[in-house]
Amino acid sequence: MALLFVDSCAHYSVAQMQQKWTSASNPIISTNTVTGSGRGVATGGMSRTLSANHLTLAGGCRQMVAGSKTVMYFEKSSGNVVGAYLSVQADGTLKVQFTGNNATAQNAFSGFSVNFGGVYYFQFYVQVSTADLGGGYYSATYLYSVYVNGIVRLSGSATVTPCTPVATGVDRSFNSVGVASPDGWVGDIWFTDGELLGDVKIVPLWPRANGSVNQWTPLAGSNYTQVNTHTVGTDTASYNYDASVGDLDQYYMDTIGSFTGTILGAQALWRVANDLTGDTAAVGVYYNGTATVTASLGTFAPSSTFWSWFIDPNRKSVFNTSSNFTPAEIDAMQVGIKRVA
């Protein structure tokens, strides 16, 4: 299963978080987390519109629960015609609700309850399937599981019917994920297209040396030094630039070394802007010393007015898509960018 989105708020600056989430109901600010180490992100809630429609999503987040609240949700971003919502009620018990366009919502409740003021890892898995009922109606059946601190506390299925399509074939899958009011901060957050990740450690890796090919022009110094930090200050503090189609830049990344456990995915990010009046385009690339693989996100065309994130998450190795990444593979891999237009 391809990993859609893995993110740890504590590893990104406020400006970067604003670019990585589609919207937030309040300004995003950096704050100390209630428990644990590192920084969190304070906001009234964040949402992200996915690039495609998905029948299965799994999401997780670490939050402090002060009272009744919506924890997270998956929905069709336009019109909310299908939706799955996980919330904590006033007595601390869990509730899931499933919706369909012009249909009565279906609810389920848990006997388990959280303690207000406590910090919990919530994980929400939902798979939706639809069936045509004829006459312009369909049904939506949801298979779901809710984990709290790694233990299943609520699971089952619910069918919402009859639903009426907003547009044929467009309103029967998810394309938006969100975390609602986080009681002052949000810890780690992740979303996938179905594989449950649990509580995972996310390790940020930055370029540590120039790779095998470096054809872009650095603003100063070596190419890798211009892109080896997540705190860039102003948008033009450091970067590499290029004027020729076909030019390639590659960088060795930080090493992770040996450890006990499984690598459950690797996500590459490119932060790109266009200072030309005409259109430009680039692709992300991976190189392991033998093979070069183009990032699955495809061609990205940067804006001429602001810096944009282009994200390529991969659950399995990009060089062997049936196997997990290995520490040695990550340590030896080069990540790069190639101008194609």
Mapping DSSP onto H, E and C, the string for the chain reads: CCCCEEEEHHHCCHHHHHHHCCEECCCCEEEECCCCCCEEEECCCEEEEEEEEECEEEEEEEEEECCCEEEEEEECCCCCCEEEEEEECCCCEEEEEEEECCCCCEEEEEEEECCCCEEEEEEEEEEEEEEEEECCEEEEEEEEEEEECCEEEEEEEEEEEEECCCCCCCCCCEEEEEECCCCCCECEEEEECCCCCCCCCCCCCCEEEEEEEECCEECCCCCHHHCCCCCCCCCCCCCEECCCCCCEEEEEECCCCCCCCCCCCEEEEEEECCCCCCCCCEEEEEECCCCEEECCCCCECCCCCCCEEEEEEECCCCCCCCCCCCHHHHHHCEEEEEECC
Cis ω on the peptide bond leading into residue 204 (within 30° of 0)?
no
**214 and 125 together in one domain:** no
Last residue of a domain, one of 136, 165, 192: 192
Considering the domain architecture, whether residues 161 and 230 belong to the same structural domain is answered as no
Domain boundary among 158, 192, 226: 192
Its pTM stands at 0.69
* Residues 248, 156 share a domain: no
pLDDT at 45 over 80: no
How many whole angstroms separate alpha carbon 181 and alpha carbon 93? 17
- Partners of 78 in the β-ladder: none
Using one digit for the tens of pLDDT, what is the confidence trace for 140-194? Answer: 999 999 999 889 999 999 999 999 887 766 678 888 888 876 565 556 677 777 7
Same domain, 151 and 242: no
Instruction: Note whether 57 and 182 are same-domain residues.
Output: yes
Return d(Cα 187, Cα 297) in angstroms, integer: 27
Q: Which two tokens stand for residue 67?
A: 């009272």
Which tens digits make up the pLDDT trace of 265-277?
A: 898 989 888 887 7
Please check the confidence at residue 238 and state whether its pLDDT lies above 90. Answer: no
| 97 and 236 inside one domain | no
| Residue 157 and residue 28 in one domain | yes
> Is 225 in the same domain as 322?
yes
**Residue 42 and residue 101 in one domain:** yes
Is the predicted pLDDT of residue 288 greater than 60, yes or no?
Answer: yes
Question: Is residue 199 included in any domain, yes or no?
Answer: no
For residues 262 and 328, state if they share a domain: yes
Same domain, 213 and 325: yes
CA distances from 286 to 176, 202, 264, 292, 312 (A): 28, 20, 18, 6, 11
Note whether residue 197 is domain-resident: no
Percentage of residues of the chain with pLDDT beyond 90: 42
Q: Does residue 201 belong to any structural domain of this protein?
A: no
pLDDT bin (cut points 50, 70, 90) of residue 264 is confident
If asked whether residues 147 and 51 sit together in one domain, one would say yes
Work out the pLDDT band at 32, boundaries 50, 70, 90: low
CA–CA dist 335, 270 (Å, integer): 10
Find the CATH number of the domain harbouring 47.
2.60.120.200
Alpha-carbon gap, residue 213 to 248, rounded angstroms: 6
> Range of 236's domain?
207-339
Amino acid at 5: F
Overall number of domains in the chain = 2
pLDDT confidence tier of residue 2, bands split at 50, 70 and 90 = very low
* CATH code of the domain containing 305: 2.60.120
Long-range CB contacts for residues 68-74, cutoff 8 Å, separation at least 24: 69/180, 69/181, 69/183, 70/180, 70/181, 71/122, 71/124, 71/179, 71/180, 72/122, 72/124, 72/177, 72/178, 72/179, 72/180, 73/177, 73/178, 73/180, 74/124, 74/126, 74/174, 74/176, 74/177
In a domain, 168, yes or no: yes
Contact criterion met (CB below 8 Å) for 65 and 116: yes
Give a yes or no: residue 151 inside a domain.
yes
Q: How far apart are CA 207 and CA 227, in angstroms?
A: 7
Identify which of 114, 106, 187, 111 has the alpha carbon closest to the alpha carbon of residue 144.
Answer: 106
